[in-house]
Amino acid sequence: MTDLPETPKSHGRLTMRPSLQPRDLMEERPVVRGAFEARIVTLFPEAFPGTLGLSLTGKALDAGLWRLETIALRSFGEGRHRNVDDTPAGGGAGMVLRPDVVHNALCTATAGAPDDRDRWPVVYLSPRGRPFDQATARRWADGAGITLLCGRFEGVDQRVLDHWRAEEVSLGDFVLTGGEIAAQAMLDATVRLLPGVLGNQSSTEDESFSQGLLEHPQYTRPQIWQGREIPAVLTGGNHGEIAKWRRAEAERLTAERRPDLWQMLSAQMRR
């Protein structure tokens, strides 16, 4: 393994900024000033960038609009076998990630980052966490960066989570084998909100959840497919009517599929 603690793997393309540093140093650690930075502590750095390296998030990564570094938990392991886990206190199945090992990895994963957790959250991906949502993505995207801790096995020793005041966030009410997929999903939702990542900025504004509603149905050519037509209002060219139709459809879908969201919205509208 070449993943040394001092050299987190960077997935961004080499992007230079004016600097007096020697050239080779700049190439080692390319930085676009002010770019959002994600640092991931994981036993499986090879899982990254994964899908984040594709399409719009991947292009943005290449362009230096955001940065991704993995910190290999294994390289902080103890002894010849680089042990990172041990059996649960009190007994039971599985293994628990050790607090000392995770702590050292988190120190590297927060080095030089702002202490202010509003600007740089330290997050443990966990099924016990607060459910991730669009508002969380928005909040994270407004910060300078984020450190994400991916658990494995039975999870992480509680003391290191308490010590770091880690924000626990869940991808949903199910149990994954590890935090890596959750980290990728949450980062995808966050990164696409960064300035310049999506070609068309306005497209994040009327998407599902941005206004608390699910999005209206979408259509494209051909005009007739398998005997099904695009709703006439969408091809009629009357933008006022189109907006009205979309709003009504969004409300219908939200009321039908997400009574929980719909109730919250109706209460807000009554206020």
Interaction between residue 128 and ligand SAH (CB under 6 A): yes
Termini Cα distance of the chain: 59
Backbone angles phi, psi at 260, to 5 degrees: -65, -45
- Residue of closest CB approach to ligand SAH: 151
- Residue pair 133/83 in contact by the 8 Å Cβ criterion: no
Strand 122-131 relative to strand 145-149: parallel, antiparallel, unpaired?
parallel
Q: Please, which residue, 26 or 181, has the CB nearer to ligand SAH?
A: 181
Comparing CA positions, the residue from 87, 33, 60 lying closest to residue 188 is 60
Site string for ligand SAH, 135-154 (x = CB under 6 A): ---------------xxx-x
Question: Can you say whether residue 211 is alpha, beta or left, with left for phi > 0 and alpha for psi between -120 and 50 degrees?
Answer: alpha
Interaction between residue 182 and ligand SAH (CB under 6 A): yes
Interaction between residue 172 and ligand SAH (CB under 6 A): yes
Interaction between residue 176 and ligand SAH (CB under 6 A): yes
Supply the DSSP string of 158-169, one letter for each residue: HHHHHHTTPEEE
Interaction between residue 127 and ligand SAH (CB under 6 A): yes
Q: Which listed residue (70, 126, 136, 190) binds ligand SAH by CB under 6 A?
A: 126
> Position 82: which residue type?
R
Comparing CA positions, the residue from 102, 63, 64 lying closest to residue 83 is 102
Q: Smallest gap, in angstroms, from Cβ of residue 252 to ligand SAH?
A: 30
Q: Smallest gap, in angstroms, from Cβ of residue 218 to ligand SAH?
A: 29
Q: Which listed residue (25, 89, 175, 269) binds ligand SAH by CB under 6 A?
A: 175
How many chain residues bind ligand SAH (CB under 6 A)? 18
Alpha-carbon distance 113 to 107, whole Å? 10
Q: Which listed residue (70, 170, 184, 254) binds ligand SAH by CB under 6 A?
A: 170
- Residue pair 157/97 in contact by the 8 Å Cβ criterion: yes
Q: Please, which residue, 68 or 161, has the CB nearer to ligand SAH?
A: 161
Q: Which listed residue (102, 171, 189, 250) binds ligand SAH by CB under 6 A?
A: 171
Q: Which listed residue (12, 49, 145, 179) binds ligand SAH by CB under 6 A?
A: 179
3-state secondary structure of 265: helix
Residues of this chain that bind ligand SAH (CB under 6 A): 125-128, 150-152, 154-155, 170-172, 174-176, 178-179, 182
